[in-house]
């Protein structure tokens, strides 16, 4: 079955990225399609939508979205994409995303591209769209059964979880090095903690950047991108499997903001301009302050970000700010708080503007253990996020939970 992803876009063909988009879709068994519209549909759709852009291609995007909303065109998912730095298109992109979500049950992903876009950057997003469509039944799984293992090979850390009958019985994490070696080591430790032999494990699920390598090495039953797997892990850990929620995962290299309905994502954004807006910046800050990253949160909680202005939009400039601030003799506590605030601000400006935040907000991933960052996210959003226990293990838990669906 080929999954049809409806593309609503402006500028892709003239930015040399249309081929990359189609390549990414093809590689996950999907096909890019454009909902058919006639010129008469366009005027009517724009009037109905109520936003009249000057650029005709954006009007065409609107007409195509209306076609989907009216159920007159058959597609399985929606990909909305426009040129980076185009203000008019950014407004239309976000409002159309909202419109499609309000009027359909189709999963949506938005993206703003530059001419440097490569298929690999879109792969996880496309794969997630396909997973949501093709694995509906698996994703509706709420209980883990048997003995299963989840392996999450992230850019910063590698995590393993052993689960038995809906309980975590073993877990471990380590900084990522060699993909297989890191995973083998955390898996062995998690098994030891669980008191389980490898031969007793009934299924393995892998996720994260190294998922394909690990999937092959460990003969995993489930090899799946982190957007859907992390969402399942997050709602299971937070015990919010039903209803709506927003999941914020500030990762080592990129950030994810996902809205879910009954644990299944229906909209997500991923990425960031630069490592400046991710956990990596906090690692760099901790190193400069000569403290462990695990201690940074508590230090930040004792400070006030207002006393040490910092901007992590770019990690290079962010570190320059840090050095300058320290040079001015600011307190470590204030600097740590400012670093956390800056990362939270970037996530708010870059990721959370592309989704409609739903309640509750669940913050997960390794960085959710940095309490100062959670405080900063709560302050910016005006609502304290829920940080479930074992929040750094979402991917591994999701992997163990979903792989039990294959038993």
Partner 1 sequence: MSEIRETRLFMISPRSRLTPDQLVRMVHAFGAEALVKETCYGCLVEGPRDLVLSIRDKVREEYRNEVFTKVRAYPCSDPRRCRAQHGTRPGFAQLEEEWALLSRIQRGLEAVEAGAEYAEAPAKKRIPVNEFKKICEVQR
Partner 2 sequence: MKVFIDPPNSLVLFDLVERFGHEPLSTMAAIQERVDNIEVDMPPMNVTLDDVVKGLKYAGVEVPSGVRGRLALWGPLIEAADAAIVMDDCPYSFGCVGCERSNLMVKYLIKRRGIPTLHVSYPEDDAQAIAFVAKAKEFLEGLK
- Give the residues lining the site for partner 1 (CB under 8 A): 13, 32-39, 42, 56-57, 60
Coil/strand/helix, residue 33:
strand
In the bound state with partner 1, the residue whose beta carbon lies nearer, of 34 and 332, is: 34
- Which partner in partner 2, partner 1, none is near 116 (CB below 5 to 8 A by kind)? partner 2
Q: Are 298 and 372 in contact (CB under 8 A)?
A: yes
Whole-number Å distance between alpha carbons of 334 and 72: 56
- Which partner in partner 1, partner 2, none is near 35 (CB below 5 to 8 A by kind)? partner 1
**Residue 174: CB partners within 8 Å, gap ≥ 6?**
157, 158, 182, 185, 186
Q: What is the DSSP letter of 199?
A: G
Query: Using the rule CB under 8 A, which residue among 7, 12, 176, 315 binds partner 2?
Result: 12
Whole-number Å distance between alpha carbons of 188 and 172: 9
Q: What is the DSSP letter of 229?
A: H
Q: Are 210 and 179 in contact (CB under 8 A)?
A: yes
Query: Using the rule CB under 8 A, which residue among 7, 15, 255, 363 binds partner 2?
Result: 15
Query: Using the rule CB under 8 A, which residue among 3, 8, 11, 281 binds partner 2?
Result: 11
Q: Are 76 and 93 in contact (CB under 8 A)?
A: no
- Which partner in partner 2, partner 1, none is near 33 (CB below 5 to 8 A by kind)? partner 1
To the nearest whole angstrom, how small is the minimum distance from the Cβ of residue 7 to partner 2? Answer: 12
Whole-number Å distance between alpha carbons of 183 and 206: 10
22 lies in the binding site for partner 2 (CB under 8 A) = yes
Whole-number Å distance between alpha carbons of 303 and 377: 15
Query: Using the rule CB under 8 A, which residue among 6, 10, 168, 293 binds partner 2?
Result: 10
**Residue 311: CB partners within 8 Å, gap ≥ 6?**
317, 318, 321, 342
In the bound state with partner 1, the residue whose beta carbon lies nearer, of 35 and 318, is: 35
Whole-number Å distance between alpha carbons of 250 and 365: 6
To the nearest whole angstrom, how small is the minimum distance from the Cβ of residue 9 to partner 2? Answer: 9
To the nearest whole angstrom, how small is the minimum distance from the Cβ of residue 37 to partner 1? Answer: 7
- The three-point CA angle 62-67-70 to 5° equals 120
- Residues between 94 and 133 that touch partner 2 (CB under 8 A): 113-116
The residue with tokens 């769209």 is: 129
Coil/strand/helix, residue 46:
helix
60 lies in the binding site for partner 2 (CB under 8 A) = yes
- Which partner in partner 1, partner 2, none is near 115 (CB below 5 to 8 A by kind)? partner 2
To the nearest whole angstrom, how small is the minimum distance from the Cβ of residue 10 to partner 2? Answer: 6
- Which partner in partner 1, partner 2, none is near 173 (CB below 5 to 8 A by kind)? none
Span interacting with partner 2, options 7-15, 195-203, 217-225, 333-341, rule CB under 8 A: 7-15
In the bound state with partner 2, the residue whose beta carbon lies nearer, of 53 and 146, is: 53
- Which partner in partner 2, partner 1, none is near 66 (CB below 5 to 8 A by kind)? none
β-sheet with 222-223: strand ranges across: 167-175, 157-164, 147-153, 203-208, 222-223
Q: Taking Cα atoms as reference points, which of 256, 247, 259 lies closest to residue 279?
A: 256
- Which partner in partner 1, partner 2, none is near 84 (CB below 5 to 8 A by kind)? partner 2
Chain residues binding partner 2 by CB under 8 A are 10-19, 22, 39, 53-58, 60, 82-86, 88-89, 113-116
């Amino acid at each position: 079955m080929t999954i049809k992803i409806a593309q609503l876009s402006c500028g892709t063909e003239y930015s040399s990225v249309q081929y990359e988009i189609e390549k990414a879709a093809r590689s996950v068994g999907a096909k890019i399609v454009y909902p058919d519209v006639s010129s008469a549909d366009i005027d009517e759709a724009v009037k109905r939508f109520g936003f009249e852009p000057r650029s005709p291609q954006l009007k065409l995007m609107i007409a195509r979205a209306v076609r989907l909303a009216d159920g007159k065109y058959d597609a399985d998912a929606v990909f909305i994409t426009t040129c980076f730095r185009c203000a008019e298109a950014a407004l239309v992109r976000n409002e159309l995303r909202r419109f499609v979500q309000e009027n359909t049950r189709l999963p949506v992903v938005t993206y703003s591209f530059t001419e440097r876009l490569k298929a690999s950057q879109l792969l996880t997003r496309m794969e997630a769209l396909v997973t949501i469509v093709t694995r509906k039944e698996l994703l509706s799984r709420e209980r883990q059964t048997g003995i299963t293992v989840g392996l999450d090979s992230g850019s910063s850390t590698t995590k393993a979880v052993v689960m038995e009958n809906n309980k975590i019985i073993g877990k471990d994490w380590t900084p990522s090095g060699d993909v297989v070696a890191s995973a083998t080591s955390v898996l062995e430790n998690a098994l030891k903690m669980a008191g389980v032999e490898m031969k007793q494990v009934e299924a393995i699920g892998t996720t994260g950047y190294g998922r394909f390598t690990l999937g092959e090495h460990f003969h995993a039953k489930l090899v799946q991108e982190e957007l859907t797997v992390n969402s399942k892990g997050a709602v299971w850990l937070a015990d919010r499997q039903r209803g709506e929620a927003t999941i914020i995962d500030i990762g080592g290299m990129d950030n994810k903001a996902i809205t879910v309905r009954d644990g299944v994502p229906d909209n997500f954004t991923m990425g960031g301009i630069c490592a400046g807006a991710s956990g990596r910046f906090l690692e760099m800050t901790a190193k400069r302050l000569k403290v462990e990253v695990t201690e940074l949160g508590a230090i930040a909680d004792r400070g006030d970000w207002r006393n040490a202005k910092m901007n992590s939009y770019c990690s290079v400039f962010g570190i320059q700010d840090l050095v300058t601030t320290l040079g001015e003799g600011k307190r470590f506590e204030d600097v740590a708080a400012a670093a956390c605030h800056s990362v939270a601000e970037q996530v708010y400006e870059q990721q959370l503007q592309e989704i409609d935040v739903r309640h509750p907000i669940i913050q997960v991933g390794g960085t959710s253990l940095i309490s100062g960052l959670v405080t900063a996210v709560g302050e910016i959003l005006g609502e304290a996020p829920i940080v479930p226990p074992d929040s750094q293990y979402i991917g591994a838990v999701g992997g163990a939970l979903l792989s039990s669906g294959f038993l």
